[in-house]
Amino acid sequence: MNSSSTSDRDSQHPRDRSGCTDQNAYGHQPCAQRRFPRLSQRLGGVWFRHYRVYTRNLISNGLPPFLEPLIFLVGIGLGLGQYIQQMQGIGYLEFLASGLLVTSAMYTASFECTFGTFIRLEFEKVYDGMLAAPMTYRNLLIGEILWAGTKGMFFSLAVLLVVLVFGIMDGRALLLTPLIGAATGLMFGAIGILVTSLVKNINHFNFFFTGLLSPMFFFSGVVFPIENLPKVIQPLAEVFPLTHSVRLVRAAAFGWHLDTIWWDVLYIVVVTIAASALGLRLLKPRLID
């Protein structure tokens, strides 16, 4: 009798291979349709949310990436360019512009995954609603890093367009620069998530920007070659993440450092993975608390 009742229920509500009925007695949606979304959908949901917020104020968000490098190149490049005609065999303005291609990616990704992530976490409580959906904390934070990589690519491309329009550089770096900018954005986005996991007060980010990013800008070969630094400081410059992004973009633009390009690529990959893994682990308690 029990087996016949079970058979009757199974015939009324056929099951798929996962054991879910096509429709329950209350008319709810089939559980096959309520399965966890694919990974690409979850990561894409985080990315698309940030994209929509960013494009709501497209002019105010999209114009600075073009104006900032222009102002910097005019104010610093043309000024110093009157006294420094050449740097490592190329014009100083061209030398400086090539470094700015990845510097812009560093700053935008760092801001996005420090101040931006902290505000969404502690003040706006955006993540509470996102985690209520079928999404894990890993999906959320990886989506954050992917968005930082996208902004890094966009900002690098914006700088490249500026230097091409004004004839500062030719098109040799056109294809690879956005990819290097994206890799730089991913790396500093991951570092930003790690820093955010350690920060409890938003004002403490000033130590990160002033104590790490600012020295990195000057000692990573952006403004002048690392070889011009004192011998004692040169090993420190090799530790800075930005150094390896600068080398990659100059390898693409001028063919420099091709013999060590594998080391720069490996460094960026390892730092991105390590910072992401550690940042996810340390930030987890604050996300699911």
pTM of the model: 0.85
Residue 32: its pLDDT value, please? 44
How far is residue 84's CA from residue 109's CA, in Å, rounded to a whole number? Answer: 31
Residue 151: its pLDDT value, please? 97
Distances 58 to 46, 63, 102, 149, 267 between C-alpha atoms, Å? 19, 8, 22, 18, 34
Conformational region of residue 224, where left means phi above 0, alpha means psi within -120 to 50, and beta covers everything else: beta
How far is residue 115's CA from residue 257's CA, in Å, rounded to a whole number? Answer: 34
Contact 254, 112 (CB under 8 A): no
How far is residue 240's CA from residue 270's CA, in Å, rounded to a whole number? Answer: 13
How far is residue 287's CA from residue 135's CA, in Å, rounded to a whole number? Answer: 12
pLDDT in tens, 73-125: 888 877 777 778 788 888 888 999 999 999 999 999 999 999 999 999 999 99
Tokens 């060590």 belong to residue: 260
Residue 260: its pLDDT value, please? 87
Q: H or E element: which one contains 87?
A: strand 86-87
Instruction: Report phi then psi at 86, rounded to 5.
Output: -135, 150
Residues of the chain with pLDDT under 50: 1-34
Residue 21: its pLDDT value, please? 44
How far is residue 17's CA from residue 181's CA, in Å, rounded to a whole number? Answer: 45
Tokens 């104590």 belong to residue: 211
The three-class DSSP label of residue 21 is strand
Residue 184: its pLDDT value, please? 98
Residue 25: its pLDDT value, please? 42
How far is residue 289's CA from residue 287's CA, in Å, rounded to a whole number? Answer: 6
